[in-house]
Each structure stands twice: as C-alpha cells, then as structure tokens.
Structure 1
Amino acid sequence: MKATVIVNKDFSKGKIDKRIYSSFVEHMGRVVYSGIYEPGHKSADEDGFRQDVLEKVKELGVTGIRYPGGNFVSCYDWRDGVGPVEKRPRRLEIAWRAIETNEFGTNEFMKWAKKAGIEPIFAVNLGTKGIENAVSLVEYCNIKGGTLYSDMRKGHGVEEPYGIGLWCLGNEMDGDWQIGHKQAEEYGRLAQETAKAMKQVDSSIQLVSCGSSKSDMQTYPDWEATTLNYTYDYVDYVSLHQYYGNQEKGTPFFLAQSLDMENYIKTVIGTCDFVKAKKRSEKELYISFDEWGVWSIPDTEVASQVHEEAWEVAPHLSEQIYSLEDSLLFASMMMNFLKYADRIKVACQSLLTNISAAIMTERGGDVWVQPVFYPFSWMAGYGHGEVLRDVLHCPAYFCDGFGEVPYVDEVTVYNEEKREAVLFAVNRGEEEAVSLTVCLQGFEPQRVTEHLALSHRNKKATNLVNHEEVKPYHVTDNILERDEVILTMEPLSFHMIRIEVK
C-alpha cells in the first residue's frame, strides 16, 4: 500500500503550546497514594514522594498537571488538606466511595510539582461548594500576605505565594454522575460569578469554563452554547473531556474513533465562534482538553468496583492495562491536539499513574510503563514549534459511523530552532505495510536523524507481565531523495521520524 503526505515550510496551522503535554492527578484509587506519594517506599524522599515515579514523569515529558480532580473535586474542601497533617480530618470521599486521609493536599502537591518541574493547573469545587471556597483558595495560593488565607499559608510554612496561573471552574458539571451536577443555565451563572470574583482576587489568572464531558452527551453542544453565553467574557478556555473504548467492536472501528474526536473539536470551536459572533466580541476562546484517554473498562464494571471497595484508603480501582492496539488510538487522539494547535492550548492526559495511566506502580514495589508511554514521550519530546498544513493521499477503508477512514493518520511539526521536521504517523491497517512518501516542500532535508516505531506481532500485547514486551525499536531503511523521505510503516504501528533540514 502506498501513501503520500505533502507539507510546505510556509504553510503553518499554528504554534504548539507546550501545555498540551500535560497530565492529570486526581485523588482517585492509587493515583496519589502509592502512585506519586508513598512514604516508606524504598525510593521515597524526605517528603514521601516516590523518586522512581518522578524519574518516569520527567522521562514522559509532562509539562503540567491538573489537580485535585476530577469527580473528586466536586465534594472537596481544600481546607481539609492544609495545615498540620496530624490535625487533618479523614473524610468519606463520596465520588469514588473511599476514605480520604487528606495527608496529601495543596502544599504537598505544590512541593511535588516543583520537584517534577511541572506547571500546576488547579480545579475549584463548583459542585458542593462555590464562590467563597474558590476565592479563598486563590487567596491562599496567590496573595503575598497580610490577609486571612495568605497568612494561613505562611503559617503552614510557605512564605512566598505560588502564583498558580490556570484554574478550572469545576469538573464535568454537565454530567449527572457529578456530585452537585448543574443544568447549563445554573452552571453558567455560577461559573460567571465565580470567575468574576476569582479575578478580583488575582486579575492575572486564566480560567477554564466546563464544556461537555464527552461527545455523546445529549446536551452537547447546547451545553457550550448556553454556558458560554454567561462565561465567555470572563474565561480564557472551554474544557473538553473524552475517553474511547469499544475494543470489542474490532480494530477498524476502534482506531477510527479519533475521527469522532476531531469532529468533536471542530464542533466546539464552531460553537465558541458562534458565541463570539453573537456577542460581537473580538476575543478568541481556546480549548483546554483537560481530560482524555483510552478507556478499556466498561462503566458498569467501574461502578461495581467503586461499590465493592467502598470506604477503603486508596483502593485498586480502574487500573487499566493497555495494549499495542490501545496505544495506536492513544497516539491518534494526541495527534489531534497538534492538528488543532491554533485553538487547543492545554491538554491533560488522564491519569498520570495507575488509572488509565502511562506509568504503573506496585505498592512497595517497582514502577513500569505501559505502551501508551511512548507516543506521549515522543510527542512531548519532539512535537514543538509549528504544525504544518498537509495534503494526504492515502487509501481508506469504510467503517460504519465514520465513512471513509484513511489507513494513515499523520501530522508534521517544524521546529525552526532545532532545524528539524518531525512526522508522527499511525498505520491503522491490520494486514498491509504502508510505503509512505513524505514530501517536504520548501525544505532541504539533510538526513533522517531518528526513526522510532512502536508495533508488535500481537495487537493485544501488553507490558503487564513482561514490562518490556511492547517497546520502541529503531528503523534504519528510510530513503532520502531530494525533498522526499520514503519510509515503511508496518501494519498497526506508530512512528516518529525526525528529519534534519537546512
């Protein structure tokens, strides 16, 4: 099978914001406790942070972390997680039906964030709390001193303010599973007033208004049209969330779901622009895709786990094991953030450890990575600069619900500073290899610096038993002819090709 992609140095889609390589830490299952934080572990530092996990986080290339939830935030009072640990309350955490010890809270997270070298992205509780709870947290985190909550922070041993710049106004408020679920009009008004108050405390912060929780919500995209009518003038981003499963429908359908995600993005961009036109506004609203991932566990099974393991501390919950097949959809989903880099400025892979995660830990034991680790780390490592407009000529297959689906999914990035063009590409085909010709118009390719691939003879292969069963390999048989690079993509494979240009 042959395919061609044509890009031109002078035709850019948009500049990549490094925050699209963010992740997500929620007080859910073992994400925090025995994930990033496990006092007494052989690798734990003086603050109880697992150094082996920190090393993997840095290797993954994560730039930001959204915290503390997620569904968790909708019944969370941030005051429970500050001050002397021995005085913090143990609470029933009703979102995931667990015991929250609160030994890890705002200051512990910020200390961990500094060690991880990431930007914090905070969420406030608009489920069971509201304006006062959000405003007081901004004061605690961002005001230098001389007020109740800024002085409280100082009393907790943190002299200088954190200066947290990006804040989410609640979580998935359109979902009836959410504690404190709101109708669109309710949420719009509450978010508007909360945004106004938060910016009164710190006018430099940026805010994210809750968008739809997934593309099949009955309220989508009316939710965006209604809520943004209230929040548009006060926020900088609208959030999107999306998970895909459906492995049982077969590989062609499963991998085609990235097209649904692309349509989802385009629809919300269109809705934002409709509200902009309606308001006669000159302001551009951006997207924060602050939860996304592949979900392989049925919702009914997750619900049964929550109830079976109720009222435990950090129970094993939704610890999905990813296959090579899963990593290909994961890669295509992530590539969508690059394709729409002009409007998507933040994206948070969900979650960082143990639940729908690239990084897995054993309580008291080792750390290992899932196949999805590699697409993320490659894009986070080399997907910087400008995204180039492309023309793809490629055979396609027909799939119910999606129509014509190209066998090849790809995106090309130009990093002028490093004089490098980087292609990321998935071969969705199960049977045939693809001979892909990349035509780099306006460039003078010098050599292929590196070609990494991810594939496996068994599409269901995982790293659960043999932690290196699915791992990258180098490809060296690329052909460079004038302004063209020709490469071979094995069936069901993901590729990163770095090309030095003059």
Structure 2
Amino acid sequence: MPRAHVILDRQAVIAPVRRRTFGSFVEHLGRCVYTGLYEPDHPTANEDGFRMDVVELVRELGTKTVRYPGGNFVSGFRWEDSVGPRETRPVRRDLAWHSLESNQVGLDEFARWLKLTDSEMMLAVNLGTRGILPALDLLEYANHPSGTELSDLRIANGTPHPHNIRMWCLGNEMDGSWQTGFLNAEDYGKLAARTAAAMKMADKDLELVVCGSSNSGMPTFGDWERTVLEHTYEHVDYVSCHAYYQEHDGDLGSFLASAMDMDYFIDTVVATADHVGYKKRTKKKINISFDEWNVWYQKEFAESDEVNDEWRHAPRQLEDVYSVADAVVVGNLLMTLLKHSDRVTSASLAQLVNVIAPIMTEPGGPAWRQTTFYPFSITSRLASGEVIRPVIETPTYTTAHHGEASVVDAVATVDEDRAAVFLVHRGLTQATQVTIDVRSLGSARILEAVTLADKDAYAKNTLAEQNRVTPHTNPSAILSDGQLSIELPPVSWTAIALG
C-alpha cells in the first residue's frame, strides 16, 4: 500500500480561519430562487413564501455570506423593480439567462431570508447597464437609517431598520463578452473607481470588491487585474476571482488535481495586486474575494438547449447532479482557499440551490443534499481558530493538465482546545496509508473521523436515491503517542476532528 506522511506544526500559522470563506451565492437564475428558496405553495413555506426545509439545509451547510443577486443577472437588473408591494412589481426580461424575472423576491425579502440562515449579504451593483447614481440610490435604500427619500421608502415598504450591508461587488465579470454592457479594463477601471469613491463618500467603512478576470484562461488575465487596480486601488478592498472546473475527456486524474490551478490563480492575482501596490508606494494590501467557485459542467451546458428562444419563468437550468469525484474536488478547492487565508478572506461557492448547487429541490416535493454538500458543511463546522501549513511527503502522479500532482493533499486548523485535519486522496485505484504527526497540537483523542468515498467514483445523489452517497466513519483512524494514522480509499475526502 502506498504511504504518505504529514507533519503538523502548531506554529506554522498561515492566518486565522475566515468565516467568510464559507460563503455561497444566490443568483436569479434557473430555479435557484423560484422553487428553490421561494415556493409559497410548498408545505414547508413560511409567511414570506420561503421553503423552510431549504433553510434548514442551508443552516446545516454552514454558509456565512451569500452573494446576491448575480452573477450575470445583475448587469441587466433594476433594483427598484424588486422592492415595494409584490403585486405592483414588473415582470422583466433577463437577457443573461434568457428568462423572465417576476421580481417576487427582492432585496427586503432576501434580507429576511438571510436572517433565517444566520448569513450576511454581499450585494452586487449593476455596472453593466447602469452606473454611479443607481448604486448610490441602492446604498441609501439599503443602509441609511431614515430621514431621506429612499430610506423612508424602505421603511414604508416594511423594513424599519437598515440592512447594514457591508460588502458590495462593483459589477460582475465585466471582462466577459457574455456580460450585458461588458467593458475593457481601462473603461471598467475608471467606472469602478468613480463608483467606489462615491459609495465611500456615503459610507467610508464599506468593503468593496472590484471585478477581476472571469477566469484564469481569459486572454487578458493578469493585464486586466493590473489595469483595473491601477485605477481603483485606493478605493477598493478586494479583487474578485472566479473559477469553475470539470472533468474533460475522461481524464479523472487531471480533474482531481484542479486545486493546483486554483492555487496558481490565487498566487498570480496576489502578485499582480501587490505589484500595483508597490508602484503606488502604499502599504495597503488588496485581498481576494473568490466569489464564484465550484464544479460546473460547462461543456454540457453549452451543448444543451437550456437557453432557447422561449422566455420562461424559472426554467430548469444548470441543474448539474454531482458525483463522488466532484465532491472530492470541491473539498480540495475549499482546502486550497483555507491555505490562502492570509489573502483570500472571502469566498462564495456558486451557487446555493438547484443551480450548480449543493442543495436540490423538487417543486412541491423534497429538498436533498448533493455529494458536494458534505465537504463544505463538515469543513465549515470543524474549521476554527487558525489555519496551519502542513509538510506533506506523498507519492505523486503525472497529469495531462497540471504536470506532477501529489496523491495526498492536506490542510489543518487549530483552536485553543481542538484541531481539524482535512485530507484528499487523488489516487484512482489503491488506498494510501497516511501517518500524521500531531504532537505539537496537544491532541489527546479523535472526536470524529469521516470519509466521503464510494466504490463508484461517479456515484450520485438523485431524487430517486437522495442518500446514495454520504460520509461514513473511517474506522482505520488511530491516534497513539502523537501519531495519527488513517487509511484513505481511492478518490476520497476525509475530515478528522481532534480534541
């Protein structure tokens, strides 16, 4: 059996665990909102029409931040449509996803939904087809206490207290030709700078996210970040990263190593941001909001007829059904975000319900957990305190897309009285025996050790088999004299809690 060894040093601290790392994303796309979060006729619906079975799953998932309302959707969105009496809200065409938007769920309703899930809102403003004044109006409506036209309108609409939204996204994927109103880096950078400066005149403590590249494969990647930040550096706090992964042409080995691409993406953006900071002779650091990341079957979506000539309300779109392998990659991507907690201080799994999501629903029926639900929910529950950098001795294998990749990857977190270790095994056929030196952690016992794996790496949870794949206790975990040993099955994700 192959062997790997991990050394954990309590002093090898990367940064604190950032609770905003465990964020998600709700876009008015497909059935994410309608029949996902919101279904007034569902047996579990509350007085606002929100499905409480979904609320319970979101609470279990452990999300702390939710980006809203897009996404591509935001670049055609008029926020005024989504407030006030529901019966007077207009139906609009959404050009991004070629569907109809009823506006029955808007800012005030969504803010109430967030309270049910104990999450904070990250709100995006439309810089695709709108600009500075509508962004300022939205800020006034959302955050000003009272005594102005728009704050008093919010109060009249039934929300007496301000939403106090702290994080704001300055548009979405503005480098993409698919984006309504897309811009080049120079034009977007100037618009974002003026918008950010104006918003901070209203509230200097806002946390603003400027658009980075839509993905690391964009032809302008790197140059886009440099140009945009040269305009906006003084006014913003974050630059965004977006990345989606999927298996191509049956190359499971490369897919399982997707976190290596995320690692490269983060390092490149950090280096670019710091380069601009050095040029400007400032000590200020720009952090990363990795506010879209997931596994997404983009090739299948491009070849489907999900977007067609019909204008439909909440059509089924992007309802990917995830496998064990997908969940292992999601778990590994989240581990990578934790490893970069010194600069990645906010992240959003895209998306939350039905649309490339960890939670699925059926109209009038059940809600259930996809395979990807588990690594996110367990990591959110166990990770606390500080992230520590492991030393990993592991066999490697050759991938077509990432070169040499480690068979085992790991990260750990440590708090005053507990620790957690997260492991991914990318091997396809053989189990690997891993020993972990945890002496510096002072841990006396294993509180839990769970592994997500299956003999079929492509096993999935479906409406018919909602619990086909679940994490199971790993009985091989043994802690003795500061040495933790565990056997990792092929294509697996594991979490171990120590106390």
The 5 Å alignment of 1:95-110 reads: 95-110=96-111
**Structure 1 position 498 matched with structure 2 position 492:** no
**Structure 1 position 57 matched with structure 2 position 55:** no
- Mapped to 1, the partners of 2:301 and 2:167 lie a distance apart of 33
Runs of 4+ in structure 1 displaced over 6 angstroms?
none
Indicate the residue corresponding to 1:452 in structure 2.
450
Q: Is the 8 A contact 2:196 2:236 kept in 1?
A: yes
Indicate the residue corresponding to 2:85 in structure 1.
84
Q: Secondary structure at the match of 1:446?
A: coil
Q: Is the 8 A contact 1:16 1:342 kept in 2?
A: no
Distance 1:302 1:282, change over 3 A: farther
Indicate the residue corresponding to 2:436 in structure 1.
438
- Mapped to 1, the partners of 2:125 and 2:442 lie a distance apart of 49
Count of aligned pairs between the two proteins: 497
Q: Is the 8 A contact 2:358 2:373 kept in 1?
A: yes
- Mapped to 1, the partners of 2:215 and 2:110 lie a distance apart of 28
- Mapped to 2, the partners of 1:206 and 1:346 lie a distance apart of 11
- Mapped to 2, the partners of 1:105 and 1:299 lie a distance apart of 31
* Range that drifts further, 367-376 or 239-248: 239-248
Indicate the residue corresponding to 1:481 in structure 2.
480
**Structure 1 position 468 matched with structure 2 position 467:** yes
Give the C-alpha shift of residue 299 in structure 1: 6.0
Q: Is the 8 A contact 1:324 1:455 kept in 2?
A: yes
Indicate the residue corresponding to 2:188 in structure 1.
187
In structure 2, give the amino acid aligned to 1:327: A
Give the C-alpha shift of residue 204 in structure 1: 1.9
Give the C-alpha shift of residue 147 in structure 1: 1.2
Q: Is the 8 A contact 1:26 1:69 kept in 2?
A: yes
Indicate the residue corresponding to 2:10 in structure 1.
9
Q: Secondary structure at the match of 2:283?
A: coil
Q: Is the 8 A contact 2:429 2:490 kept in 1?
A: yes
Indicate the residue corresponding to 2:265 in structure 1.
264
Q: Which deviations, in whole Å up to 9, do the C-alpha atoms of 1:283-319 show, x marking residues without a partner?
A: 01110000110012416536731115x3110000110
Give the C-alpha shift of residue 441 in structure 1: 4.1
Runs of 5+ unmatched residues, structure 2: none
Q: Is the 8 A contact 1:424 1:496 kept in 2?
A: yes
Q: Which deviations, in whole Å up to 9, do the C-alpha atoms of 1:106-133 show, x marking residues without a partner?
A: 1110111111111111000000000011
Q: Which deviations, in whole Å up to 9, do the C-alpha atoms of 1:423-448 show, x marking residues without a partner?
A: 10111001111111111242322111
Instruction: Please provide the CA RMSD for this pair.
Output: 1.1
Q: Secondary structure at the match of 1:305?
A: coil
Distance 1:460 1:303, change over 3 A: closer
In structure 2, give the amino acid aligned to 1:319: E
1:426 to 413, 424, 427: 424
- Give the alignment's TM-score, normalised by structure 2: 0.98
The 5 Å alignment of 1:35-434 reads: 35-298=36-299, 301=302, 304-307=305-308, 310-416=310-416, 419-434=417-432
Give the C-alpha shift of residue 356 in structure 1: 0.6
Q: Which deviations, in whole Å up to 9, do the C-alpha atoms of 1:252-285 show, x marking residues without a partner?
A: 0111121011101100010111011010111011
* Range that drifts further, 473-482 or 425-434: 473-482
Q: Secondary structure at the match of 1:203?
A: coil
- Give the alignment's TM-score, normalised by structure 1: 0.97
In structure 1, give the amino acid aligned to 2:475: T
Q: Secondary structure at the match of 2:338?
A: helix
In structure 1, give the amino acid aligned to 2:403: G
- Mapped to 2, the partners of 1:29 and 1:450 lie a distance apart of 37
Runs of 5+ unmatched residues, structure 1: none
- Mapped to 2, the partners of 1:444 and 1:258 lie a distance apart of 30
Q: Secondary structure at the match of 2:48?
A: coil
Q: Secondary structure at the match of 2:390?
A: strand
Q: Secondary structure at the match of 1:442?
A: helix
- Mapped to 1, the partners of 2:118 and 2:440 lie a distance apart of 37
